[in-house]
Amino acid sequence: MTHLVLIRHGESNATVQRIVGGPRACTGLSPLGRDQAAALAERLARTKEVSADVLITSMYRRAIETAEMLAPALGGLAVEQVHDVGEHFPGDVVDGMSFEQFATRFGLTDWDGDPFEVGFPGGETVAAFQHRIANAFAQIVRDHAGKTIVVVCHGGVIDTAVRRFLQTPPTGLFEIHTLNTSITEFVLVGANRWRMLRYNDAAHLAGLARETPRVKQVAADVDRLELREVTPENVDDVRGIDVWPSQRQFVASVERSLVDAHHRGKRAWYRAAYVGERATGFVMVAEPNQLDESIATNAWYLWRFLVAGPYQRGGYGRRMLELVCDHIRSLPDTPQELFTSWIDGPGGPAEFYLRFGFEPTGGVVDGEVEARLTRWPSTRS
């Protein structure tokens, strides 16, 4: 008989940070999430209650990390990544946005509304998500008929599977809340007939904290942002500032930027952005006549600029650049010109720079779009 064991991933960093954790914003498990996965792994190794033949995970980091922690307890099975058992895809506009920002910009979502209309802007509708999940599980069952299949996935995926296998309405009627690392199990007893053996079995979580305290939304404290020097005392903290993984193709790491600043013989002004004691970004500006590119060399050049993934779309990037402009304006006898360049492409920084006031010059610098700041921000205290 075909057994299907669905396991929700452990608590994620995205949940703790209160952001929409799509594939770009997902940074894996929180410390508690790893404890949850470890507790389940210990349980499965001790009880041998799941004799798995196949171990599948979505391609989200939080699910992959959970599956990898469970694999030794399931006989050392290889972890197979299947794209289509991923969570409801939010789309690039929303992915990484805080819940507060999402609600402010798009309003609260009525998930019991029309499934063909309700969804994330630019992402999947509920109907499209459910159709994808139904097809994915149908294919998985065909490929592994007669086996015990463990799928490490997501709360929305398990909700959809429960509704599908029990042949209930796709939305409304009832609500379920699938706990992190809980076990939900089905057995195929006939043609398209599934029997639920258990739902939300999370006995292994006894003694663990229910959840990690959520990060308080910080959109209102953008005005507290300040640029600080990078010192031996904070350099390790600054090196940890990073964009979302899908954005790394557009910007060099802080580590590389610091090396370039110190070993290329160029004069650069660089600072880390902080809100309180939270490092939120990094900026490096080359002084006039310090770069070899074919831009106007008698000008300042925004050489490196990045905002840490969880702080994007909250006004932090704009405030950082305003402070850079204030710095340039405060210096006597210096050109009041600022250039930059960017790699063009989906998910790149072009929209941000254009909104700020940069305009393409028509030039190209090492394959990047060259731009000049033409609308300087008003100075604010």
Tell me: the pLDDT tens digits for 172-226? 767 789 999 999 999 999 998 999 999 999 999 999 999 998 765 544 568 889 9
pTM (2 decimals)?
A: 0.63
Annotated domain spans of the chain? 3-205, 219-373
Give the tokens for residue 308: 């840490």
- Please give the pLDDT value at position 218: 47
- Please give the pLDDT value at position 296: 54
User: Can you tell me which residue has the tokens 């989906």?
Assistant: 346
Q: Do domains 3-205 and 219-373 have the same CATH topology?
A: no
Sheet with strand 79-81: strands edge to edge: 79-81, 54-57, 148-153, 3-8, 183-190, 193-201
**Which residue did the predictor score with more confidence, 39 or 104?**
39
Asked whether the predicted pLDDT for residue 293 surpasses 60, the reply is no
Cα–Cα dist 75/92, whole Å = 37
In percent, the amount of the chain with pLDDT more than 70 equals: 93
**Confidence band (pLDDT; 50, 70, 90) for 292?**
low
Cα–Cα dist 207/136, whole Å = 35
DSSP state of 369: E
Asked whether the predicted pLDDT for residue 108 surpasses 80, the reply is no
Identity at 227, one-letter amino acid code: L
Nearest to 339 by CA among 361, 306, 320, 318: 361
Q: Among 3-17, 71-85, 100-114, which is the least confidently predicted range?
A: 100-114
- What is the rounded average pLDDT for all residues in the chain? 89
Query: For residue 231, with 0-12 CB atoms within 10 Å meaning exposed, 13-18 middle and 19 or more buried, which class applies?
Result: exposed
Sheet with strand 278-286: strands edge to edge: 226-228, 268-275, 278-286, 300-307, 338-342, 368-373, 358-365
Topology of domain 3-205 in CATH is: Rossmann fold (3.40.50)
pLDDT in tens, 334-372: 888 899 999 988 778 998 999 999 999 998 888 899 999
On whether the CB atoms of residues 306 and 281 are closer than 8 A, the answer is yes
Give the tokens for residue 128: 């499209």
Q: How far is CA 274 from the centre of its chain?
A: 21
Topology of domain 219-373 in CATH is: Aminopeptidase (3.40.630)
Q: Is 187 helix (H, G, I), strand (E, B) or coil?
A: strand
Q: How far is CA 292 from the centre of its chain?
A: 35
Give the tokens for residue 287: 């002084």
- CA separation (Å) from 112 to 105, 169, 175, 219, 345? 20, 11, 11, 29, 36
